[in-house]
Structure 1
Amino acid sequence: MKFPYGICDFRKITMKNYFYCDRTDRIPLLEKGEYLLFLRPRRFGKSLLLSMLANYYDVAKKHEFETMFGNLKIGKNPTELRNSFFILKWDFSCVDPSGSVEDIRKALHDHINSCIKAFCRYYRNQLPGKVNLDWDNAINSINELISIIQTTDYNIYLLIDEYDNFANQIMMGIRRERNELYDALVHEEGPLRTLFKAVKASASESIFDRIFITGVSPVVMSDITSGYNIAENIYLRYQFNDICGFTDNEIEQALKSIAGECDLSEEKITEALELMKTYYNGYKFSSKADKYVYNPTLSTYFLKYLYEDCEYPDEMLDSNLATDDAKLEYIAQVPAGRQMLLELLREDRSVDIPKLTSRFGIREMLTDQGKDNVFMKAFLYYFGVLTVSERTEQGKINLKIPNLAIKGLYADKICQMLLPEPAIRDQGKAAAELLYQQGNIQPLCDFVEQHYFKVFSNRDYKWANELTVKTAFLTLLYNDILYIMDTETELDRRYADLTMIIRPDMRRFTILDILIEFKFVKLKDADMSGEQAGKLTQEELQNMPLMKTQMEDAKVQVKDYGDVLDKRHGNLRLRKYAVVSLGFERLWWEEVIRRKS
């Protein structure tokens, strides 16, 4: 078997027998629209989808149709439009976003001209004349190309990949300066709007007979407004929910194929499937879709590694995807963004919005104070760090963190956000290691008291309870190389606060499984100030009636949860802890040890 990690060339994948999940049956449905806009998160298979369309419609690929598509669904019943267009491709991820507006305009126009030059070379036998390029203004080159195409028997199918890539990079740079630059690109007569005006004009003349545009979010398209208002948004339609992404059945079949090469047992296949589901599954792009899909890039990364080494990769999050935390960094800079990120990790990783907004610009998102941050939540949905979960009883759409890989980005970003000094963060991580390596929780509790509690006390956060304390511990303990980590783990219809279960392939190491239950006593309920709480001796803290009651409750819960985990997993090296917080001032912990009968 061959897994096409990093390969988005449909022709190469099909002709060299790489692993491919057939989505060609959606071609007839796509043909019902002429000017389509399709959005998916970064590295989610958009480029491969475009490559599939390019090879299907390319008039110069008629002789290869049977080889590429004969064994696929569309090959058995192709549409009349197959192999009937010139294909012009632009990839805006190739446009340099650095420099001034004029620098970016030149980079954009250079890219368009280079693509037209490659187009002319590719179709040189079908074109009746030479296209004279204007390297100062690619709009003129487009018009020149159109004048030549009008004399042929074919029209152009324009494919634009990552239409918003360089604009997003500008938008998420240093905020004030970069926002001014972004505005200059998309508003008035900015180069991006001007380009799309030319595309729209060519579409109206039926020279660009069909257009398919991919990107990550609708923000840029909304901001160029009338520059390109002919796009049909198909990204929220349930029929295209899995057009990019893998299904449970496809992952399972791939694992079974690998099992034959690596001599994996049925039990090992089930284990690998559950591991992939935990880290890579969970994406739903339409509230009407009935199934979740796996991130295709991360899944291919895992499958390729497993096939070649017959073992799981240590790092479940491919480093090429780790850069997506820039979106979280951007949200942390906008009004109320920090609060929202904390709430997402705190409130069982979900938020509600009235609807999935299909169009909104940067100004709407940055000034959305009275709408419960709906645009920022939608922004995170489009970038793949939130996904559709379900509809609530009130008819709202519930968004959640899709899987453990993305949850790790949240935990890391929040840790950086609340503890910006690297040396301080390193101290916290070192304290966390003492817990899961030696079972010593005291240094971690000391660190939270001395550092995290100061952050929580000094900022005007809207909530103060055990979930806040849990967030602090989670961001320091998070380790998806060694552990399957979870908060609010369901155990017999109840929910444990924080579990760290060693990954099956990491049980060879002498680390510990961890279970922690948190409780919180408000300073107001204890009738004391933060200063008074800070002066309490440990004995005085433990003798407070409210603290004793919460500790007893936590110990009972953590014991019950521990019993369920032992029965569920078996062979755990489980250490169980109850932690009670007095405001954002003091912590009292106890380890709950099973008594031998």
Structure 2
Amino acid sequence: MLKLPKGNSNFVDIVTKGFVYVDKTKYIEMLENGNDKFVHFLRPRRFGKTLFISMLSCYYDILTKDNFDVYFKDTYIHEHPTVEKNSYLILPFDFSGLNDTSSDMLEREFTQRIEDQCKEFLNKYKIDIELEKRSAAGIISQLLYELPSKTDIPIYAIIDEYDQFSNELISFDLKGFKNIVSKNGYVRKFYETLKIGTSKGVVKRIFMTGVSPITLDSMTSGFNISTNLSLDPRYHSMMGFDKDEMYKLILEIDEIVNKQAVLQDMKIMYDGYCFTKKKKECLFNPNMVFYYFDQRQIYHEAPIDMIDSNMLSDYNKLESLLMINSDQKHKDILLEILSKEKITCELTTSFCLDVAFTRDDFISLLYYLGYLTIHSVYRDMIEFTVPNTFIKKIYFDYFRKMIQLDFHVNTSNYAESINRIIDQKDNSLFVSNIEGILKSLDNRDFRGFSESKVKIAAAAIAQSNKYVLLKSEYPVEEGYVDIVLFPYHTQGITALFELKYIKKENLNQATLEEKRKEAYLQLKKYGEAKEFANQDIVKWILIFSKDECVCNEIVD
């Protein structure tokens, strides 16, 4: 059985205790040989950033010199060591887990975190400096001022999750956030002091990870020395797993017989992330992958819950995003994403919180946080898409919560309505629930209403049931099926739905029959597709007008 580093981001622990390690050490050489000594790299939460930083720290730390062969055997960098190997004092800062419930509490915890990590640094390298009680900037200033008199070894500053606390603060206390990054703000002062350390040669290199560029942008000249490598195609796979890395992992798990089929299933659930305008192969989220393999090794089958609850808690923050300089257009953007699963804008690479978020700003923020990914590029415009089924579930979870709270829609029987479809071939409750969502919307929501909005309602209901896999616009030989429900970890039918919508003013018997016939012919073709061979399929026509289903018919 493979030892999987699920939740473990300690490089030394992983490589010395026999855990699986996907070798990313070639990027050490690339970073060192590059022109930029001060860099930051942005990726969504739980994408392998902390493990990469741990590996980087181990490689450059002067104290690990004697263990280089132990820690880096069988890696790229072991055969291609660089000039600066094991030649730094590593000064690490980790800003995750700070109490951000109030601005005052955050400042105290930020300062204490800086003090604690500077003291750990001094103790680790046995450097005799007595730090005084000061501000965060004062503490780091004293350290960098006195250090050259104690040693001539330079510092490599490594900062993990530089923006985690500030991202949380933005959503509920925008004024407080602006204060901490303003000219006299304590966060800005800390980074200004670190910047001074680089100019004096005490800090020779800096590597920072984070999620979005908002905090750095807000500090303007306070820390304008760092190069953003996040969109650089050369570093696209520095964090996350590509298809080859994934397949090598699958080969090592003996109980997986049909390895290509498992790879395809995992692509649907966890793949799809692209972070460069120059199209590269999409990446898998490492934490999601290890969760799947862990469950597979324990139970010898794919997990019923394809999504780790810990991941859900990290990503279930769409509601707080809507509060950032918010207005109705943010919800409209989410509905567009739910409807089309794609959306186009120009990527915002520099944010300004002094004005309301533009449409591009909000879509870009969804990209940085991992809710969207790059699909294609035309000149300056990027088409973003929902990366995978995991993120799609997040959107629909939010939509169900929104209609429950804003429109008082009862969502408690959504999962049961899907059970009735796959177990009893009965879609009446499903249709009733769709009508309930449509009835809850006001007249404004029906302007320009189309079948795509009906699909949102139908998909939101289906996504509530973990025993079906929902496929929207599912490609088959003859076209695209509007909605397919595949039974997952259970027996039952495969349900195909062709959805149509008729405007209320256009509803008459002739129009209804025309739409019905169109849907009938489509479903007859779809049902014969090889994708549904040897499956018990049931095909339904659903035609809606305003908030009512005017045709609910099974196609034989």
Shared fold (TM-score, shorter chain, > 0.5): yes
| Alpha-carbon shift at residue 323 of structure 1 (Å) | 2.1
Q: Match of 1:404?
A: 389
Amino acid at match of 1:4: P
**Structure 2 residue aligned with 1:358, among 340, 346, 349?**
349
Letter in 1 for 2:18: N
Matched letter for residue 488 of structure 1: E
Q: CA deviation at 1:105?
A: 0.9
> Residues 476, 332 of structure 1: CA spacing in aligned structure 2 closer, same or farther, 3 A cutoff?
farther
Does the Cα contact within 8 Å between 2:415 and 2:464 map onto a contact in 1?
no
Q: What letter corresponds to residue 255 of structure 1 in structure 2?
A: I
SS in 2 for 1:159: strand
| 1:73-88 superposed matches below 5 A | 73-88=76-91
1:102 aligns with one of 104, 126, 147: 104
Q: Residue by residue, what CA displacement relative to the aligned partner does 1:179-216 show, whole Å, maximum 9, x if unpaired?
A: 22222222242221121111112222121211111100
Instruction: String of CA shifts for 1:90-149, please: whole Å, max 9, x gaps.
Output: 1111321122x222111100000010111111111xx2x233232x42322212211332
- Deviation for aligned residue 1:591: 1.1
Per-residue deviation, 1:438? 1.8
Cα distance in 2, alignment partners of residues 57 and 587 from structure 1: 68
Bigger shift: residues 319-328 or 26-35? 319-328
Name the structure 2 match of 1:41: 44
Q: Within 5 Å, give how 1:16-415 maps onto structure 2.
A: 16-31=17-32, 32=34, 33-99=36-102, 101-124=103-126, 127=127, 129-134=128-133, 136-151=134-149, 152-173=151-172, 178-259=173-254, 262=255, 264-265=256-257, 268-333=258-323, 334-335=326-327, 336-347=329-340, 349-354=341-346, 356-364=347-355, 366-368=356-358, 373-392=359-378, 396-415=381-400
The amino acid of 1:498's aligned partner reads: I
SS at the partner of 2:420? helix
How many angstroms apart in 1 are the aligned matches of 2:57 and 2:217? 26
Aligned-pair CA distance for 1:461:
6.0
- The one-letter amino acid of 1:14's match is V
Structure 1 counterpart of 2:552: 589
Q: CA deviation at 1:493?
A: 5.3
Q: Provide, for residues 225-249 of structure 1, a one-character-per-residue CA deviation record: whole Å limited to 9, x for no partner.
A: 1211111010000011111111112
Q: Could you tell me the TM-score, scaled by structure 2's length?
A: 0.94
TM-score normalised to structure 1 length = 0.88
Q: What is the distance in 2 between the residues matched to 1:95 and 1:147? A: 27
For 1:133 and 1:511, locate their aligned partners in 2 and report how far apart those are by CA, in whole Å: 69
2:415–2:461 CA contact under 8 A, matched in 1: yes
Tell me: CA distance 1:270–1:490, structure 2 relative to 1, closer, same or farther (3 Å).
Answer: same
Q: Give the conservation status (yes or no) of the 8 Å contact 2:279–2:376.
A: no
Secondary structure of the corresponding residue to residue 198 of structure 1: helix
Q: Which runs of 5+ in 2 are unaligned?
A: none
Contact 2:171 2:321 in 1 (8 A): no
Q: Which amino acid aligns with 2:382?
A: I
Residue 579 of structure 1 is matched in structure 2 by 542
SS state at 1:172 partner: helix
Q: 1:385 to 1:220 in 2, by over 3 A?
A: same
1:424 aligned counterpart, secondary structure: coil
Indicate the SS of the match to 2:442: helix
Give the AA of the match of 2:89.
F
Q: Whole-Å Cα distance in 2 between the matches of residues 568 and 144 of structure 1?
A: 67
Report matched runs for 1:434-583 at 5 Å. Answer: 434-449=420-435, 451-460=436-445, 463-479=448-464, 481-492=466-477, 494-503=479-488, 506=489, 509-526=490-507, 544-564=509-529, 567-583=530-546
Provide the secondary structure at the position in 2 that maps to 1:270.
helix
**1:512 corresponds to which letter in structure 2?**
I
Shifted more, 545-554 versus 378-387: the winner is 545-554
Cα distance in 1, alignment partners of residues 550 and 400 from structure 2? 20
Q: Indicate if the aligned counterparts of 1:577 and 1:590 stay in contact, CA closer than 8 A.
A: yes
1:41 is aligned with what amino acid? Answer: P
Could you tell me how far 1:480 is from its partner in structure 2?
6.6
The answer to whether the Cα contact below 8 Å between 1:24 and 1:73 also exists between their aligned partners in 2 is yes
For 1:131 and 1:570, the matched residues in 2 are separated by 74
**Does the 8 Å CA contact 1:91/1:160 hold for their aligned counterparts?**
yes
Determine the structure 2 residue equivalent to 1:532.
Answer: none
- Code of the residue aligned with 1:171 in structure 2: it is I
Q: Distance in 1 between matches of 2:253 and 2:416?
A: 38
Q: Distance in 2 between matches of 1:462 and 1:118?
A: 61
Q: Check the 8 A contact 2:462/2:470 in 1, yes or no.
A: no
Deviation string, structure 1 residues 276-300 (Cα, Å, up to 9, x no partner)? 1110111110011421110011001
Q: How far apart are 1:363 and its partner, in Å?
A: 3.9
Q: Distance in 1 between matches of 2:296 and 2:288?
A: 12
Q: Percent identity?
A: 28
Pair 363,492 (structure 1): closer, same or farther in 2 beyond 3 Å: farther
Structure 2: which amino acid aligns with 1:576?
Answer: K
Structure 2 distance, partners of 1:302, 1:343, is 30
Amino acid at match of 2:431: C
1:391-432, Cα deviation, whole Å (9 max, x unpaired): 24x662211000111111111111211232787111344334
Q: Secondary structure of the equivalent of 2:85?
A: coil
- Contact 2:292–2:303 (8 Å) recurs in 1: yes
**Greater CA deviation, 142-151 or 274-283?**
142-151
Measure how far apart 1:446 and its partner are: 2.0
Shift of 1:331: 3.9
Cα deviations by residue, 1:154-191 (Å, 9 ceiling, x for unpaired): 01111111111011111223xxxx22222222224222
Whether the 8 Å contact between 2:455 and 2:499 is mirrored in structure 1 is: yes
Distance 2:213 2:207 in 1: 14
> Could you list the per-position Cα deviations for residues 333-367 of structure 1 after superposition, in whole angstroms to 9, with x for gaps in the alignment?
422011111111111x111123x332213345x33
Cα gap change, 1:306 to 1:447, in 2 (>3 Å): closer
Judged with a 3 Å threshold, the aligned counterparts in structure 2 of structure 1 residues 461 and 194 are, in CA distance, closer, same or farther, namely farther
For the residue of structure 1 that corresponds to 2:201, the secondary structure is coil
Alpha-carbon shift at residue 81 of structure 1 (Å)? 0.6
Q: SS at the partner of 1:61?
A: helix
Aligned residues of 1:157 and 1:209 also touching (Cα < 8 A)? yes
Is there any run of 5+ residues in structure 1 with no aligned partner, and where? 527-542
